[in-house]
Amino acid sequence: MKFKLEPKKLIQIHDLMIKSRVLEERLIRMYKQNDGYFWIGGPGEEAFSVPLGLQVNKGMGLDHDFLHLHYRSSPIMLSMGAEPIDSMRQMKNVASDPYSGGRNFANHYSKREWNVVPVTSTIETQYLTAIGTGIAQTKKGCKGITIVNGGDSGTAEGDFASALVWSSRPMMPLPMLMIVTNNGMGISTPYCNQFGGDTISARGNAFKIKNQTINGNDVEESYFAIQAAMKYVREERKPFLLEAKVSRLYGHSSASGANFVPGDVDSLDVFEKQLEEAKILTRAQMEKVRENYNSQMQEQAKQVKVEPMPSGDTIYDHVYYGQKGRYW
Amino acid sequence: MATMVQAIRMALHYGEQNLGVEHIFGEDVGPPLGGAFTATQGLTKNWHSPLDERGIVGAAIGLGFANVRCVAEIQFCDYIFNTIDLLKLGGMSTWATNGDWPSPFTIMTPVGAGIRGSIYHSHSFDAMMTHIPGFKIVMPSNALDAFGLMLACLKDQNPTMYLMPKALLRVDGDEQIQGEPPLTPEGKKQLKEMIDAPLGDRSQWKAKWPNLVDPNIELSKGKIVHEGNQVTVVTYGRHVLIARDVARELAKEGISVEVIDLRTLWPYDWSMISKSISKTKRVIFVNEDTEVTNFGEHLLRRTVEEHFYDLHARPRLIAGAFVPGIGLSDNLESASVPQASDIMNACREIVAEQP
Ligand SMILES: Cc1ncc(C[n+]2csc(CCOP(=O)(O)OP(=O)(O)O)c2C)c(N)n1
């Protein structure tokens, strides 16, 4: 195995992949211990999503990338610098949850400072709001692009087709990187029940949208495909459709038990074997990283447990921007 | 003497010039047509969207996230129903993020009957829309308000829904929008020459906009359009004109009707309604949306809860019949939505009723 990325970068990616996995396992544990009502998340998407998060032009406003994410995006957020404890706060729905103040499910991120628009549970609507930031970023000289991701089953919604239609019009092409993380399932519905084509990315052809399907369980393949797609969208100000084949390692959500499902490729396993083989990290070093995150997050979960819940009298706050209390 | 649609157009122009409006879009909104009702004719930032209502609303929400001001048009509200989940989403972003994201965008759409629009060009949307928290919702009844309320929407940091009463779009205003030509037949002609696109080839045409002044109409402020002391009629949109005519008629019979134009449906001016009810002790709510789970029913509920012991007669709602659509034939349309005679009879009846 010969890597193209620098060892330093590989070690950083590995660190973030472990961090994401340990966080998701911690969130699942919190759910099972009654410290949260529902879990849904991204274990199995790390090899694709960490390289994505690391390459985002992070910041606020049109010159930075806008992110319209779905609920499996924790590796993207952690790679951008999000704190694991904040995800635990959202899981426990305490008042200090910075993403929703205890109002939303775990992994429903939102961070205006980083152009991360609110994650919604509604499948595929993010491909519609992405059109809007895409239009905003057609402004002359604008450096930011719009990134949107979602699952494979969701592409059956008309909203996915809307994104293809709007982004590829010759009179107003949109700088949009449209991503589909294809885990082959939508809750319990296999891919073949949704779609008769070979690849989802090929749908881009009908709109003359550049597209590609990659193995999202491979770190380097993902890293370079994302790099090239981003470069194209950033420079050409045109859309790109990227499909990444990934795994769903703990089932759909807590609704299906949130137990490890053996059989699927675990990208972290694969990557660790490669790192060991290439003598970039030893097994002991990798175990150490995992142990460190495990104990850190265990402590953080304890801390979150005793943080105050939001008060019921705050329900009317923020119906309107800057408004507090009952307003009518 | 701008018509309501000219007033909306002038407001959008004002928005482009002074309020940072960067995108005005929807089906047929770009040149040469400038929208099915010409509300976007002669502007500079208007463009045709794909024929995709979900895309239009989603794009508006996204532009709001980007803090880029936009106005998106849904050609008729009859075609907005497949975007309800998106309106929910747009109305919820600020709340769901515990106040992190402002979400300023404006959607405008023609509503209501009155133009013999048959089943799919006559729907109302106020009942449905007032079920969706997070929006500010307006409906003007005259050209000056149409101008001022649009500017108020464009200055707001929240999602705004601008309902255009389509039967009033071609009605002349009777109050001056500061800066428009005088309210005379000559003035009307002059304005038409300035801002209405000519028939035929329009490729070289450019609108000449008057120098307009913002009337600073506040959201959530109603207006008493006819003073009275025996019964309060609360309404909005085209029924303001109908109710005002009824009030004038009934004045001749010695019946004194106070007519309130709500202007902003949500959040509405309860203090104005409440004060008026305290004075007249009788109230009728009027709108043309279907009567079951109608917005007027909410106003009735609040009236009963807060004014039960003030009332001298049972409060009433006059609204559209609860049927799937508005039938085309004259008799069918008239039987489906409130007519002047319905309001007139209800006023006579309620005033005659004694506790
Ligand atoms: C509009 C909408 N319809 C249905 C659902 C219920 N639902 C939640 S996740 C899901 C499956 C999504 O599958 P896919 O797009 O493949 O993404 P994955 O969860 O596999 O990553 C469904 C049907 C929803 N949340 N929103």
The pLDDT tens digits for B36-88 are: 999 999 999 999 999 999 999 999 999 999 999 999 999 999 999 999 999 99
Total domains in chain B come to 2
Whole-structure pTM value: 0.98
Q: Domain range holding B265? A: 223-352
pLDDT at site B131: 97
pLDDT at site B260: 99
Tokens 């991120």, located at residue: A109
% of chain A exceeding 90 in pLDDT: 98
Give the span between the Cα atoms of B247 and B244, in whole angstroms: 5
Chain-chain contact of A133 with B57 (C-beta, under 8 angstroms): no
Q: Using CB atoms, which residue from A100, A102, A131 is nearest to B58?
A: A131
Residue to mutate among A113, A126, A128, with most B CBs inside 10 A, is A128
pLDDT at position A1 over 80: no
Does the residue B201 lie in any domain?
A: no
Does the residue B111 lie in any domain?
A: yes
Q: Who's near A5: CB < 8 A, 6+ residues apart?
A: A13, A219, A220, A223
pLDDT at site A44: 97
Region A228-243: mean pLDDT is 98
Are B261 and B347 within one domain? yes
- The Å distance, Cα A150 to ligand 1 centre, comes to 9
Q: Using CB atoms, which residue from B65, B89, B158 is nearest to A133?
A: B65
A274 lines ligand 1 (CB under 6 A): no
Give the span between the Cα atoms of B13 and A116, in whole angstroms: 32
A65 lines ligand 1 (CB under 6 A): no
CB atoms within 10 A of CB B85: 14
Does the residue B118 lie in any domain?
A: yes
**Per-domain residue ranges for chain A?**
7-307
* CB interface of B with A, residues 287-306, below 8 Å: none
Give the span between the Cα atoms of B101 and B319, in whole angstroms: 37
Q: What are phi and psi of A126, to 5 degrees?
A: -65, -25
Q: Which atom of ligand 1 is nearest to the CA of A194?
A: 16
Determine contact: B93 vs chain A, CB below 8 A: yes
Mean pLDDT computed over every residue of chain A: 97
A122 lines ligand 1 (CB under 6 A): yes
Give the span between the Cα atoms of A264 and B185, in whole angstroms: 77
Are B29 and B150 within one domain? yes
pLDDT tens digit sequence for A12-21: 999 999 999 9
Give the span between the Cα atoms of A130 and A166, in whole angstroms: 10
Determine contact: B60 vs chain A, CB below 8 A: yes
Are B21 and B169 within one domain? yes
Closest CA to B319 of B302, B303, B298: B298
Determine contact: B159 vs chain A, CB below 8 A: no
Determine contact: A165 vs chain B, CB below 8 A: yes
Q: Using CB atoms, which residue from B23, B97, B136 is nearest to A118?
A: B97
- The Å distance, Cα A51 to ligand 1 centre, comes to 24
- Calculate how close chain B gets to A157, using CA atoms only, in Å: 11
Give the span between the Cα atoms of B339 and A313, in whole angstroms: 44
Are B267 and B228 within one domain? yes
Are B14 and B158 within one domain? yes
Does the residue B203 lie in any domain?
A: no
Residues of B in contact with A207 (CB under 8 A): none
pLDDT tens digit sequence for A266-282: 999 999 999 999 999 99
Closest CA to A134 of A150, A117, A154: A117
Sheet containing B136-138: order of strands: B46-48, B21-26, B69-73, B105-111, B159-165, B136-138, B264-266
Region A204-221: mean pLDDT is 98
Does the residue B200 lie in any domain?
A: no
Determine contact: B161 vs chain A, CB below 8 A: no
Helix, strand or coil, per DSSP, at residue A251: coil
- Return the residue of A nearest to B21 by Cα: A136
Of all helices (H) and strands (E), which one includes residue A18?
A: helix A7-32
The answer to whether residues B45 and B23 touch, using CB atoms and an 8 Å cutoff, is yes
Are B189 and B244 within one domain? no
A152 lines ligand 1 (CB under 6 A): yes
Are B275 and B336 within one domain? yes
Does the residue B94 lie in any domain?
A: yes
Are B283 and B337 within one domain? yes
Residues of chain B with pLDDT below 70 are none
Are B233 and B121 within one domain? no
Confidence of residue A192 (pLDDT cuts 50, 70, 90): confident
pLDDT at position A140 over 80: yes
Does the residue B307 lie in any domain?
A: yes
Helix, strand or coil, per DSSP, at residue B146: helix
> Largest Cα–Cα distance in chain B?
67
The answer to whether residues A235 and A218 touch, using CB atoms and an 8 Å cutoff, is no
pLDDT at position A166 over 90: yes
Of all helices (H) and strands (E), which one includes residue B162?
A: strand B159-165
Are B97 and B176 within one domain? yes
CATH number at residue B187: 3.40.50.970
The topology under which CATH files domain A7-307 is Rossmann fold (3.40.50)
Query: Roughly what angle, to the nearest 10 degrees, separates helices A126-136 and A158-167?
Result: 20
Of all helices (H) and strands (E), which one includes residue A86?
A: helix A84-92
- For residue A80 the two structure tokens come to 């951008």
Give the span between the Cα atoms of B24 and B107, in whole angstroms: 10
Residues of chain A by 3-state class (helix, strand, coil), percent to 5: 45, 10, 45
Counting Cβ atoms within 10 Å, is residue B109 exposed (0-12), middle (13-18) or buried (19+)?
buried
Are B261 and B177 within one domain? no
- The Å distance, Cα A151 to ligand 1 centre, comes to 8
Give the span between the Cα atoms of B78 and B119, in whole angstroms: 9
Give the span between the Cα atoms of B90 and B55, in whole angstroms: 13
Are B13 and B161 within one domain? yes
Q: What are phi and psi of B164, to 5 degrees?
A: -100, 115
Alpha carbon nearest to ligand 1 atom 13, residue: A186
Residues of A in contact with B64 (CB under 8 A): 132
- For residue B272 the two structure tokens come to 């104005």
